[in-house]
Every structure is written in C-alpha cells, then in structure tokens.
Amino acid sequence: MPEAPSSSPQPGLPADPASLDLQFAFGEAALQAENLHELPPEVPLLEARAGDAPIARFLHHVLLEAVRLGASDLHFEPYEHHYRVRLRIDGELRHALSPPVLIKDKLASRIKVMSRLDIAEKRLPQDGRLKLRIDALQTVELRVSTLPTLHGEKIVIRILDGASTRRGIAALGYEPADQARLLDAIAHPHGMILVTGPTGSGKTVSLYACLELLNRPGVNICTVENPSEIGVPGINQVSVNDKAGLDFATVLKAFLRQDPDVIMLGEIRDPETADIAIKAAQTGHLVLSTLHTHDAPAAVTRLLNMGIAAHNIAASIVLVSAQRLARRLCPDCRQPADVPHQALLDAGFSAAELEEDWQVYRPLGCAACTLGYKGRIGFHQVMPLSEATQRIVLCGGSALDIAEQAAREGIPTLRAAGLRKVRQGLTSLEEVLALTRA
Ligand SMILES: [Zn+2]
C-alpha cells in the first residue's frame, strides 16, 4: 500500500485556509497522477542550440529582441520584392528590419515546424502555439497565426506575456473612486459587469484583474474566450473552437451545468450569447464580459439592439466601465507643451481647471523610451447602474439620457477621464484626443 502523498497546495493555486483534506481518499490515484508530469509538454519549446541553422538563429534572435523591447506582436510579411518584420510596441506597429526576401519560405517553414503546424499546407490559415526559452528560468508563450497572402505566408506571432498582463488592479490606472466602484460591483453575488472599448484597449486585462481578486478556493470561476490568452491557476479557462463547433453559446450552456459562481465571457457579440449571459446574471451568477461600444452609456443601447428586453438589462447590469489605453509619457524626456487656452477649452477642460496650476506635457524621445512614450496607462468611465439610470432604461431612454444621468451622478465622460491623465502629466493631449474621438 503506497503512502498517501502530502496535502500541500498545488503551486500557483490559491491557498484554502479551510481546506478539507480529502487526499487520503485519493492516495493511490494522486500518486499515479504525479507520473503524468513526466509526459512531454504539450506546447513545443524553442531554444537556442549549438549547430542551429542560420535561419533558426535569426528567428530566435528576433523573438528574444521583441520580448526585450516589450513588443506584443511580431509581423513577418512577404512582398513581391521585399520582406518586412514589424513589431507592435505600446499599441503602435513599427518597422523593425528588412531581411532578404529569399528567406521568406524557410522562415515560414521554421516557424511552422516549431509550432507544430502542417508545413505542406500553404493555402489555408493555421494557428499554433510555442514557448520561447528566454534564459534558464524563464519561458514566454507565443501564439502563431499564418495567413496565405499574394506573395507568401504572412506570419503574426503574439507574445503572451503573462507577467505584464497580470499586474493587478492597482497598476491599471483606475482613479481611486473608480476602483472603489469597480470593487464594489465585483462583490455582488450576481449580476453583469461589462467592460467596453475597441480592440486593444485592455478590456481583457481589466477583467482578469477582477477575476484574480475573486479567485479563491470557495469560488468556481469559468471563462470562455476566443482564444484564452492569460493562463491563471484556479480558473477554468475554455477557448472557443469554431472548427469543432465549440462556440460561445455552447460553452456558456455547459458552464451553467458546472455549478459556476463567476462566469467570464470574452465578448458578447450576438443575440444568443447576450441572452444566455443575461439569464445567467439573473439566476445567481456574476457574469463579466466585454462589448465594443464607444462609451459606457452606449453599452445599454447595444444590448437593447441585440434584442435584450429593457427590464432584463435594468435588472441585471451592475456596472459598465468604458476604457482606453493611452501611451504613457516617458518621465525622463517629456517636455512642457505650450497649448493655446482656447485649444484646451475645445478639448474639454473647464475654465476653472485652467485657472489651476498644472502643466500639459508632450513627448520628445530619449534612449530610455520609444518616441517619447514608455508603456501605457488606462483611463476609464466607470458607471454603476444607479436606480435613476435603471428607471431611464425601463422608460426607453436613449444613450444620451443615460449619459446625462451619469453626469448628474458625477461620472466623468471618457474624454474627461482621459484629460485627467493629461493633467497628471501621464500622457499627452494628442493621445487622449485621438483615443476619444466619437
Ligand atoms: Zn524618454
């Protein structure tokens, strides 16, 4: 009879002070399960090896450099007479290098072999994953996507940087009052919380910051995304798989049979998922999701347009938070900007604000940053659905009516939220104006 294994918590899982020690009942099974760790990892690992072909060394070097620069994506792009590698850093796509066009097929094959894709298939898009060895201790996960273009396969590699995407709520740029509203909302046992904004505005990172606060042994959290990018121990994460027929609605229905407490749905984009999500929020579950709307009030009208009844919206939405990610000014080289009084008024600053003592800064650029910016900071319009707003929704009010009520409750517009970051010297006026254009 083998000895029962110790009941120390699994690495990465949240600790449970009141855990029941059920290990004795599963002693033998647990020992057998330990042997499973001997199996090769599911995701292939890319690391530098002596004797690697030049193309492999080139790829490894470019990937390491992209990680070092904090890029989120690499683009390998073949054209008729050129080949181009671009990097997305702080949301901006930038040219990195132009290797000889002759390498395009070898490079595509190397990336496809590494991510276990079919190298013979060049006519259809493919998706894969791999891990990149940074040093003895560190690996970074990469998501690979191929696309047949006119002059060869374009390959985009997304760098899934778990550390920077799991920074905790305090690092995301919420003003203290907004963060308090958000924390109050996620303390609700049921209802729906929506984060809105365009693609790349950091919605998923905000939702995960909330999920990490809710991630305790006593809470069953399920997420469904397309695909799941931020791996978190203790959360049950599902990626949709259209090829296999696993869509958002199918997964959501399955979640409801899995005794959930909290459900995170990557995106509400069709009436069917909207309907299931709203029903889940009304039957004792906390549902977190995202929508593509310009601001928080518009989220309500978007759900109405998807066919959700006003009374269901009023009864289930707890809070809507609209957000944008602005590039953060480099503190080492930012310069005071001389902006005309009228331009500041036109931007949305009040005359009273302009009486106060503060300074607008503009980007310059130095060795420590990229074009005067370094990293990004979020700004948010955090709107709890008050009773007054619920009444407006029930009476068929428009997004404008809801926005006016939000203003009466002291909730800033998204533009005003961005201008607050300008006032704090954290970002530039141009950045906020560009991100909040209606
Ligand atoms: Zn700088």
- For 205, the enclosing helix (H) or strand (E) is helix 203-214
Going from the N-terminus, what domains does the chain have, and what CATH number goes with each?
Answer: 18-39+48-160 (3.30.450.90), 169-435 (3.40.50.300)
Q: Tell me the per-residue pLDDT of 84-133, one tens digit each, with 9 for 90 and over.
A: 999 999 888 999 999 999 999 999 999 999 999 999 999 999 999 999 98
CA 328–ligand 1 middle distance (angstroms): 10
- Alpha-carbon span 112 to 243, nearest angstrom: 20
CA 370–ligand 1 middle distance (angstroms): 7
CA distances from 57 to 82, 85, 88, 107, 157 (A): 21, 16, 22, 11, 17
pLDDT given at position 5: 46
What's the average model confidence in pLDDT over 156-170?
Answer: 84
DSSP code at position 370: B
pLDDT given at position 186: 97
pLDDT given at position 339: 96
CA 89–ligand 1 middle distance (angstroms): 15
Burial state string for 146-179 with b = 16 or more CB within 10 A and e = fewer than 16:
beeeeebbbbbbbbbbeeebbeebeebbbbeebb
Which range has the worst mean pLDDT, 1-5, 12-16, 90-94, 188-192? Answer: 1-5
- For 196, the enclosing helix (H) or strand (E) is strand 191-196
Closest to 139 in 3D by CA, of 268, 41, 56, 16:
41
Q: How many other C-beta atoms lie within 10 A of the C-beta of residue 28?
A: 12
- Alpha-carbon span 117 to 128, nearest angstrom: 6
Is residue 75 exposed (0-12), middle (13-18) or buried (19+ Cβ within 10 Å)? middle
pLDDT given at position 390: 97
Q: Which residue has the higher pLDDT, 161 or 36?
A: 161
- Alpha-carbon span 28 to 2, nearest angstrom: 7
CA 426–ligand 1 middle distance (angstroms): 13
CA 330–ligand 1 middle distance (angstroms): 5
CA 130–ligand 1 middle distance (angstroms): 33
CA 423–ligand 1 middle distance (angstroms): 19
CA 366–ligand 1 middle distance (angstroms): 4
CA 326–ligand 1 middle distance (angstroms): 16
What's the average model confidence in pLDDT over 226-247?
Answer: 91
Which range has the worst mean pLDDT, 88-92, 216-220, 271-275? Answer: 88-92
Which among 24-28, 94-98, 227-231 has the top mean pLDDT? Answer: 94-98
- Alpha-carbon span 354 to 352, nearest angstrom: 5
Q: Which residue has the higher pLDDT, 185 or 227?
A: 185
CA 141–ligand 1 middle distance (angstroms): 29
CA 90–ligand 1 middle distance (angstroms): 14
